[in-house]
Amino acid sequence: MLASLWLPVIACSAGAGGGEGNTTGNGAGGQSSSGAGSSSSTSSDDFGDDFGLTTSGSGSTSPADAGNQTTCDDAGNCTCINIASIGHEGVWGPCSSDSTTALQNWLNTQSTAQVDNYNTEKPTLTPEFLAKYDVILLQWMVTKGVQNDDGAPWQFTADEVNALKDWVNNGGGLIALSGYQCNGQGCTVHDVTATNQLLSFTDIQFNANGVLDPAQNGCPNCNCWGGPVPVGGPLPGSVGTWNQDTPIGKDIQSVGAYVARSIKSTTAIVDCTDGTNNFAVHEEVGKGRVVAYGDEWVTYSGQWLGTASCLNPQMFTDPNSPCYQRSAAQVFQIPQFWYNAVKYAASSVECFTIEDPAIIK
């Protein structure tokens, strides 16, 4: 099925690769002026030049952005946006054994974001916890989170849901994914339960179905990118269209999805649909913003890099191959999807930026 990822350390200095991340559920908090973390020294002129941030020399920080500032420690690790990833990461992907480290490394080495990972134990959503973050990514919120065994869905109290509601209404951003496990045929779908509970105050809910199954829909050459159905774009077997007039769909032609959940909504703006099933939507809730996408394959490294142990790289360079120049990295706009989603969700954080030549800003 699908998966996801995230890490707790963000480095603004070049070449600082992300590590394995905090898997203990003890998020560090971050450094935004609205968060609980602390900031040390200020950003340098060189950093501001590299990331498009305005600085006024030694001893100054970049201008406040709706309460947020870019802050850097003595080692040059900088942040202006704090993200909490809540829930297990995906465990499938190409070859059914992929990781999500590419997304993690992309954020940690190329952006002004910091991610705390709560993927083994459910955090308690209190106002104090939520105040540390600008964006929350909702992933696979279950007790086990392994292949073919979700375990029980996490349960949140009414107080936690109300705290999240207040946080979003006051400017927080939510990004929700789904589709981490079985396709709903002959098995119980658990990956929508906690997510729908936390989205109950929005106009967005995930259906407990399994659309975009290449085994049922048929998908010529899907093996070129590891199996998922192309969502949008001109590729063989592609389904749906990305709306170029929305902040989430803009500049995206196609991404992959494998047994995704469709999304139920009435007033949310649709970013991607096939006319029957909505695959991506977004909406404003008070001062905050919510994004939902029905699949987790946008988190797998094989979709970012176009490489996996079961894929022969020669098929992408052989002009006689149906996979010629059709690796996932060549046909999907995964970085663009994440840039759009984070930028939109972090509505009050103009200082968020990421360096990637593939992204249209």
Q: Please give the backbone phi and psi of residue 352, each rounded to the nearest 5 degrees, phi first.
A: -65, 130
**Distance, CA of 101 to CA of 323 (rounded, Å):** 25
Q: Please give the backbone phi and psi of residue 182, each rounded to the nearest 5 degrees, phi first.
A: -60, 160
- Element spanning 273, H or E: strand 269-273
Number of H helices, E strands in the chain: 9, 14
Tens of pLDDT, residues 243-255: 999 999 999 999 9
CB proximity list for 163: less than 8 A, separation 6 or greater: 125, 126, 127, 130
Collapsing DSSP to helix, strand or coil, 10 comes out as: coil
CA dihedral 337, 340, 341, 342 (to 10 degrees): 120
CB proximity list for 49: less than 8 A, separation 6 or greater: none
Q: What is the pLDDT of residue 274?
A: 97
Report percent pLDDT > 70 for the chain: 79
CB proximity list for 91: less than 8 A, separation 6 or greater: 3, 145, 146, 147, 180
Which DSSP string do the residues of 298-337 spell out, in sequence order?
GG-HHHHHS--TTS-GGGGT-TTSTTTT--HHHH--HHHH
Q: What is the pLDDT of residue 69?
A: 65
Q: Is the pLDDT higher at 341 or at 47? A: 341
Which DSSP string do the residues of 29-82 spell out, in sequence order?
----TTSSS---S---HHHHHHHT----STT--PPPBTTB--EE-TT--EESEE
Average pLDDT of the residues in 327-344: 96
Q: What is the pLDDT of residue 92?
A: 95
Global confidence as pTM: 0.81
Whether the per-residue pLDDT at 284 is higher than 80: the answer is yes
Least confident window among 16-20, 76-80, 211-215: 16-20
Burial (CB < 10 A; 0-12, 13-18, 19+), residue 303, is buried
Q: What is the pLDDT of residue 137?
A: 97
Q: Is the pLDDT higher at 202 or at 351? A: 202
Least confident window among 36-40, 136-140, 187-191, 215-219: 36-40
Q: What is the pLDDT of residue 109?
A: 82
Tens of pLDDT, residues 150-162: 999 999 999 999 9
Tens of pLDDT, residues 219-264: 889 999 999 999 999 998 999 999 999 999 999 999 999 999 999 9
**Distance, CA of 133 to CA of 115 (rounded, Å):** 9
**Distance, CA of 243 to CA of 213 (rounded, Å):** 22
Contact 27, 84 (CB under 8 A): yes
Q: What is the pLDDT of residue 49?
A: 32
Query: What pLDDT band is residue 68 in, cutting at 50, 70 and 90?
Result: low
Distances (CA, A) of 244 to 54, 252, 271, 295: 30, 7, 8, 20
Greatest distance between any 2 Cα atoms in the chain: 62
Whether the per-residue pLDDT at 51 is higher than 80: the answer is no
Query: What pLDDT band is residue 17 in, cutting at 50, 70 and 90?
Result: very low
Tens of pLDDT, residues 72-123: 777 776 788 899 999 999 999 999 999 998 887 888 788 888 889 999 999 9
Q: What is the pLDDT of residue 2?
A: 37
Distances (CA, A) of 171 to 66, 166, 167: 10, 9, 7
- Average model confidence (pLDDT) across the chain: 82
Q: What is the pLDDT of residue 70?
A: 72
**Distance, CA of 175 to CA of 322 (rounded, Å):** 35
